[in-house]
Amino acid sequence: MITTDTIFTPFRFPISGIELSNRIVMAPMTTYSGNPDGTVSDEELAYYKRRSKGLGMVVTACAYVIPHGKGFFGQIGAHSDAMIPSLTLMAKTIKADGAKAILQIYHGGRMSPAAEVPGGVVLSASNIPSIREGAALPVAMTEEQILETIEAFGEATRRAIAAGFDGVEIHGANTYLLQQFFSPHANRRSDRWGGDVAKRMAFPLAVTNSVVDAVAKYAKRPFVVGYRLSPEEVENPGITIEDTLMLVDALALQKLDYLHISTMDLWGPSMRNAADTKPRTLIINERVGDRIPVIGVGSIKTAENAQSVMEAGIPLVALGRELLMEPDWETKVNGGTESLRVTLSLKSQHNLVIPDPMWNAMVNYKGWFPIVE
């Protein structure tokens, strides 16, 4: 029988020196429940409070860093100093029972709905739409817009510091703007921001530098910086694991505390070649794990699942859907007295403290959760 001793041991990040009480991280999940002005709603605060107890670290839903980066209805913002009081409430709520609070910062790029961005102008690396149905035709960002966005990531970091967060996570995954610049599908530029792999990683690295510089300038206490990435794309041309290994080599040279590898199933095969069955997270960890800690995520449900990930050499484990169905995951596992909820009852919204917009997405997105009446 696999023990769970390791997942409840402390972990210290190598750059910031911040220590987590255990190895369990709450993965960032979109709530669709922020206020129209980008501030955090009372419902979101209750949602985070219900889930933060006992976890080592909580990564928030993504916050847009600039108005043309808003990617969802009901998304929170870190685009203005007017957001700092709201972000402060969020940080305090998450940290109240000891979890470290990490604000995920991002730009939606071509995945932003036209209705959510100024003038309905959707921006991306190039004027290539996403392959998703009904995708908007984006406008290629100008040099000025690129530089403005890079600076905006640094400014959002400053606001996270002022709000009392313990760190930020740069969202370079899940098809959003940083991934778009790295992608040969979305990025067809011929200037310094596009071309071969080295040029396509110029924007993500510039954003990373902006964030790290803001920490050096404004943080008067230890502050975590992480980076989330998706290892592959299904598009052709698209990001390959070979591309990603070049990117993680470059990121490992930055002053980052961790890499968070976004996958739906950590143990699943390649998105591009089902015959290639080695988990992408393990490949990345083998490449850079001795230089930068890796967070694994994706269909990790039980304590045994989490322990197996750690025994494979990955030091931190993120739970997403599992903490939506079972907000008492850590308490139950650590106590060893109760069984975990592994299905989503349609009668459980109140008990689980999930805001209406998020709940509607959860129950209406086919196959996302095992739903019972």
Q: What is the DSSP string of 273-319?
A: -TT--S-HHHHHHHHHTTTS-EEEESS--SHHHHHHHHHTT--EEEE
Round the average pLDDT of the chain to a whole number and report it.
96
**Preceding amide of 67 cis, omega within 30:** no
Q: Does 346 score more than 90 pLDDT?
A: yes
C-alpha triplet 317, 219, 70: angle, nearest 5°:
65
Domain 6-372 fold? TIM Barrel (3.20.20)
pLDDT bin (cut points 50, 70, 90) of residue 359 is very high
How many angstroms from the chain centroid is the CA of residue 311?
23
C-beta separation of 260 from 169 below 8 A? yes
Q: Does 127 score more than 50 pLDDT?
A: yes
C-beta separation of 249 from 291 below 8 A? no
Amino acid letter, 111 = M
pLDDT bin (cut points 50, 70, 90) of residue 151 is very high
Report the range of poorest mean pLDDT among 60-74, 210-224, 300-314, 333-347: 333-347
Instruction: Kindly state the average pLDDT of the residues 108-126.
Output: 97
What SS3 state is found at 58? strand
What does the pLDDT read at residue 2?
41
Q: What global pTM score does this model have? A: 0.97
How many angstroms from the chain centroid is the CA of residue 50?
20
Q: Does 325 score more than 90 pLDDT?
A: yes
What percent of the chain shows pLDDT beyond 90? 94
Instruction: Kindly state the average pLDDT of the residues 318-337.
Output: 92
Instruction: Kindly state the average pLDDT of the residues 142-151.
Output: 98
pLDDT bin (cut points 50, 70, 90) of residue 366 is confident
Separation of alpha carbons 246 and 248, rounded Å: 6
pLDDT bin (cut points 50, 70, 90) of residue 335 is confident
| 164-213 tens-digit pLDDT | 999 999 999 999 999 999 999 999 999 999 999 999 999 999 999 999 99
What does the pLDDT read at residue 1?
32
E-only strand ranges, the chain: 11-12, 19-20, 24-26, 57-59, 63-64, 100-106, 123-124, 139-140, 167-172, 224-229, 258-261, 294-297, 316-319, 344-345, 371-372
56: nearest Cα among 29, 23, 27: 23
Handedness of CA 309, 314, 315, 317 (dihedral sign): negative
Separation of alpha carbons 240 and 119, rounded Å: 34
Instruction: Kindly state the average pLDDT of the residues 118-135.
Output: 95
167: nearest Cα among 92, 98, 91, 106: 91
pLDDT bin (cut points 50, 70, 90) of residue 233 is very high
Q: Does 238 score more than 90 pLDDT?
A: yes
Q: Measuring CA to CA, how many Å separate 268 from each of 171, 274, 281, 350?
A: 22, 9, 10, 33
Separation of alpha carbons 373 and 369, rounded Å: 12
| 291-307 tens-digit pLDDT | 999 999 999 999 999 99
